[in-house]
Amino acid sequence: MPLRSDFLWGGALAANQCEGGFDQGGRGLANADLLPFGEGRIAVIRGDDVPLEAEPGRYYPARESIDFYHHYREDIALFGEMGFKALRLSIAWSRIFPNGDDAEPNEEGLAFYEDVFRACREQGIEPVVTLNHYDMPMHLVTAYGGWRNRALVEFFERFARTVFTRYAGQVRYWLTFNEINIMTSACFMGAGIIFHEGEDRYRSIYSAVHHVLVASARAVRLCHELVPGGQIGCMLNAGIYYPATCNPEDIKAAQDENRKHYMFTDVQVRGAYPCYVLKEYERQGFKIPWDEDDREVLAANTVDFVSFSYYSTRVVEASAEGKYDSNLLKSAPNPYLKLEPWGRFIDPLGLRITMNDIYDRYQKPLFIVENGLGAVDEPNEADYIEDDYRIAYLRAHLQAMKDAVEEDGVDLIGYTCWGPIDLVSVATGQMSKRYGFIYVDLDDEGNGTRRRTKKKSFDWYKKVISSNGEDLS
């Protein structure tokens, strides 16, 4: 079967990587505002050596980024010109509840997103909104210890209830937590955890995991109650792990690694912890911090679809630790694949394999909400970027996506590429790691005019959308 006639073509953004305006409109400080550019960024992301305030002389790219906060109408108009059917974006929690535990929401923040969604609708674009995309009010980190603390479940439920109620008539598609499986490695960025000396890290991380899973289920319940016709999904950082060889030990190691990530979606789709997780917790001496109704909440509030990011596959070798750090996830070498500039394997067929693996596992509609190529784009003599490398990358991945749908029968809702306009890289904080069809004049240190210009890929993607994926030439 071909792609559905209402296929949601578009692009994906995140507030912490594009919005800026960190001290405007009543927004509170977020953990993303303390991720520095340059040395030490990964340590902060992981929850080690986290400064509680900005250090003099350091650049914090999330604070201003490409200033979508002031440019959103211009940017959304460009997305409309490309023919976008959907735009995935996120709501900054600290723009709605500046401290996270506030009794009342910030009206300026609510009004801002209302206008963003209105601008989307004016362009015929369906907003796809992530409730939490790697940012949270810093007050919830310092006063409560992040998602270690059960109190955040209630605060997040208040946030979800507020935005569902306000935007019920404007937004139909929702996601709960972005790349939920990354919170176990990006502990400060994904879970608001700052580790203390001597702390039982395993207990802290997996207590946070439980609280996030419960919060996700409660958000699903609220969406179904408050948003007429609303659909809400989970979101996984996907990319299957291959065994390095046909040695059974490598195959078992790959199975174990895949399970580490699927455990999150197993709970969100099936409504209960899988047996392999319960046995692992037993071996680790970890007891899930159940509240009296958690089991019922998880079981009764499963997601409508499974969304995921896909950039690369990875490889597991049982006898050796992974050498390549791909978005905080390690991989052994793969001699059959080329590497992109930041060390991820370029594997279009892996997308098809991953789609089938997820669909076979859950039998739920899928939604690809991130896929793209980060590259150093150099303008030519005419100040134009001929990004044929990006077009080639996307063409190969879109063909693999179509094969999964047309030849394998995978049910796919849409495809939103990351990111349709240049923005700050979450892993490195760089602007020079560019993904967009639209170039933004901004360098890694925050210098530039922030002027927007179209790349060659802009018109190519416009053609892809207008043909519903039939013309990838």
**166 φψ region: left (φ > 0), alpha (ψ -120 to 50), beta (else):** alpha
Backbone angles phi, psi at 386, to 5 degrees: -95, 85
Decide if 370 is catalytic. yes
**136 φψ region: left (φ > 0), alpha (ψ -120 to 50), beta (else):** beta
pLDDT tens by residue, 57-92: 999 999 999 999 999 999 999 999 999 999 999 999
Contact 66, 13 (CB under 8 A): no
CA–CA separation, 387 vs 375, rounded Å? 9
Per-residue pLDDT of the chain (473 residues; tens, 9 = 90+): 689 999 999 999 999 999 999 999 999 999 999 999 998 999 999 999 898 999 999 999 999 999 999 999 999 999 999 999 999 999 999 999 999 999 999 999 999 999 999 999 999 999 999 999 999 999 999 999 999 999 999 999 999 999 999 999 999 999 999 999 999 999 999 999 999 999 999 999 999 999 999 999 999 999 999 999 999 999 999 999 999 999 999 999 999 999 999 999 999 999 999 999 999 999 999 999 999 999 999 999 999 999 999 999 999 999 876 565 555 778 889 999 999 988 899 999 999 999 999 999 999 999 999 999 999 999 998 889 999 999 999 999 999 999 999 999 999 999 999 999 999 999 999 999 999 999 999 999 999 999 999 999 999 999 999 999 999 99
Decide if 74 is catalytic. no
Choice among 19, 257, 317, 370 that is catalytic = 370
| Of 255, 236, 427, 241, the residue nearest 331 (C-alpha) | 241
Choice among 179, 249, 257, 317 that is catalytic = 179
Domains and CATH numbers, the chain: 8-466 (3.20.20.80)
pLDDT tens by residue, 414-470: 999 999 999 999 999 999 999 999 999 999 999 999 999 999 999 999 999 999 999
- Sign of the CA dihedral 25, 29, 35, 37? positive
| Of 75, 54, 57, the residue nearest 119 (C-alpha) | 75
| pTM of the predicted structure, to 2 decimals | 0.97
